[in-house]
Amino acid sequence: MGDRRYAVSLKRRAILKSGLALLAAGAVGRAAMENDALTSATASIPPEPALPTGWIITVEGPIPAAEAGIMLPHEHVMVDFIGADQVDSSRYDADEVFSAVRPHLERVQALGARTICECTPAWIGRDPELLRRLAAATGLRLVTNTGYYGAGANKYLPAHALTESAGQLAERWIAEWRDGIGQTGIRPGFIKIGVDAGPLSDVHRKLVAAAARAQRATGLTIAAHTGDGIAALEELDVLRAEAAAIERFIWVHAQSEPNPDRLLEAARAGAWVELDGIGHDTLDQHLTLMLAMREAGLLGRVLLSHDAGWYTVGEPGGGAYRGHDTLFTDFIPLLRERGFSQPEIDQLIIHNPAKAFAVERLS
């Protein structure tokens, strides 16, 4: 599909160039005729969807959002499920993880992906240096995050997350945006939090409020692992109460909610509905949701990803790594079969994620 778009822009450029050359030669009469031809030729090319403004903050620095290319908004390179009280970078060999992960990133890159959001938060295996190394070796752009993951009954929360206020937690995350993560100089490209199924506990409500405040201060988008639709709609209420931007909120794992009306409600409110977890055994379920979103005219609020990977710290060789490829090998062909057009597919895998993660200001 990159080739098709390239061909369209080349054609446009050729038309413009010939028009300009004629004008420069002073062939006024002919130029006027050509100008008509130019207008009608241009009008026959369908307009491309507007590319987003702003920046995607990768581990190697900001890139224009319009250049992010095909983007996977939710994948993992590495996860450590040991718990926040024991998690530590000494538990794995970064060289081994690098070697294990690299071929999977090269594979998805060969399939067309250009930018991947790595959704592993701090205290559960986030390693920005490892991501930077993988990005440099593969040429794939990787995006890391700030924020805390409360899902899993708070097992992955550091002790201070239970005692500090929403404002104090927000300040920690804002500091990572301002100063970089630890000593790495790497800035987060989004805020990742996690909450269990609703109704939200006090601690999880506090995480959402902290994320809302950090979003207001930084402009970063919030991606929230969310247990179910009740929790998702409560999260939107917290955002409203904090005067944060709902269109900069991603309901992660929305496909797990059994009632599709809740997905439509969140999308109509302006939130991003992320249908991640795409795999061979979910194709029908994801297709059903995509048809419902299209029917409702809400494809402009949908994000697609695998939530796949990952090197599991503590398992021999990192355990079974699920590749980031089913979207390309199976799901997009299935969407095409069911009548999704190329502009719709481009919107889903290029324009929507670029818009969802674009940051308007760099400081």
Residues lying near Zn ion in the complex (CB under 5 A) are found at: 119, 307
Q: Where are the alpha helices (DSSP H) in 63-201?
A: 94-110, 128-138, 159-163, 166-179
Going 57 to 59 to 63 to 68, the CA torsion angle's sign is: negative
- Minimum CB distance to Zn ion smaller for 34 or for 307: 307
Min separation Cβ 93 and Zn ion, Å: 23
Nearer to Zn ion, 307 or 346 (CB): 307
Choose between 125 and 219: whose C-beta lies nearer to Zn ion. Answer: 125
Closer CB to Zn ion, 19 or 277, in the complex? 277
Least distance to Zn ion from the beta carbon of 150, Å? Answer: 14
Task: Give 108's contacts (C-beta < 8 A, 6+ positions apart).
Answer: 72, 116, 140, 323, 324, 325, 328
In the complex, least distance from residue 71 CB atom to Zn ion, rounded to whole angstroms: 15
Residue type, 254: A
Residue closer to Zn ion, measured from CB, 79 or 212? 79
Determine contact, residues 173/214, Cβ cutoff 8 Å. Answer: yes
* CA 138/CA 115 separation, integer angstroms: 11
We find the least distance from the C-beta atom of residue 253 to Zn ion, in angstroms, to be 8
- For 126-160, letters b (16+ CB in 10 Å) and e give bbbbbbbbbbeebebbbbbbbbbbbbeebebbeee
CB of 46 to Zn ion, least distance (A): 36
Give the contacts of 57 (CB within 8 A, at least 6 positions apart): 143, 187, 188, 189, 190, 220, 359, 362
Q: Least separation, in Å, of the C-beta of 119 and Zn ion? A: 5
Query: Quick one: 119 or 170, whose CB is closer to Zn ion?
Result: 119
Distance of CA 68 to the CA centre of its chain: 11
Give min distance, CB of 341 to Zn ion, in A.
Answer: 29
Q: CB neighbours of 74 closer than 8 A, spacing ≥ 6? A: 117, 119, 223, 252, 274, 276, 303, 305, 306, 307
Please choose, from the candidates 70, 63, 86, 89, the residue with its C-alpha nearest in 3D space to the C-alpha of residue 78.
Answer: 89
C-beta of 200 vs 308, nearer to Zn ion: 308
Nearer to Zn ion, 71 or 119 (CB): 119
Least distance CB 226 / Zn ion (angstroms): 11
